[in-house]
Amino acid sequence: MPYDDSVPPTRRARPLLVAAALAALCLTAVAGCGGAQDPAGTDTGAAKPGPEAEATASASGSASTPSPEASPTGAQPSGATPTAPLPQGPLTGRTVVIDPGHNPRNREHTKEINQQVDIGTGRKECDTTGTSTNAGYAEARFTLDVSHRLRELLQAQGARVVLTHDDDRPFGPCIDERARIGNEAKADAVVSVHADGSAVGNRGFHVILPAAVKGGGADTSKIVKSSADLGARIAGHFVRTTGSAPSNYIGGGTGLDTRGDLGGLNLSTVPKVFVECGNMRDPEDAALLTDAGWRQKAAQGMADGIAAYLKG
């Protein structure tokens, strides 16, 4: 679940090029790619947060005590300097930033993560705890596992990979710092890895794209189109590799959702998307998310989509 997801998703029209790109990829995917919407063929509404999700807040985010916007620990992004020379491959010379959603120890630092930071169009919590399966498998553990798998796959193709964190700090990083890490790395693509916490029966994955936002320190005008391309390619390959259908409760069956309330997207100056891999609160989705073999497929689907985007 997005770490600054306290406001219900904003529903916006999808660019035709995004829908066309996804449809083309879905032609060779599993049956039902285009039929994962609800019976009426419309979005059934915003995800219902699980017990660990952030509290409902004002239009600009959850209310909490204002605080400075500096990094909570001053830690450097993880994986910025590979310990061994990267192999030469089709992604040599390209930089990908992977953003594992949340932090396993955020729950131990609620005061710190509830402090608000500037997201350009308002203020929101530094971070949240994320959700979990009913059996207690935390989203933050899931996102780290998938991010490690994704890093290995991309590095094998020659990409320089930076993680925003690697379970190497007590909490965070805050949402503004997560965006800043991608910007300062001059990333060719940034992918934030998540899992949702919605109602039972709500199934499938979706990719969140940045809306056209301009205000304060936020201006996504230069990345909306490229991010939509990145998201559509990831969605198509995710279907093909995992066999999972696009969300039946967000995105109208496209697997794509455009939002303007997420600081991690609003503050990005490089192409960036969020990938919600499934719903941890649905037993059928949870069975996939807790399976190591499926998590490898999820990482492969994302890696294939990123590679397709970077290769043009």
Positions annotated as catalytic residues are: 276
Biggest alpha carbon distance in the chain? 52
How many angstroms separate the CA atoms of 19 and 160, rounded?
Answer: 30
Calculated CA dihedral for residues 46, 209, 221, 116, nearest 10 degrees: 60
Query: 137 Cβ partners below 8 Å, 6+ apart?
Result: 280, 286, 289, 290
Q: Which helix (H) or strand (E) holds 163?
A: strand 160-163
> Which residue type sits at 114?
N
Look up residue 81 and give its DSSP letter. Answer: S
Q: Which two tokens stand for residue 207?
A: 């990719």
Q: At 23, give phi and psi (nearest 5°).
A: -60, -40
How many angstroms separate the CA atoms of 127 and 2, rounded?
Answer: 9
How many angstroms separate the CA atoms of 135 and 286, rounded?
Answer: 9
Look up residue 246 and give its DSSP letter. Answer: B
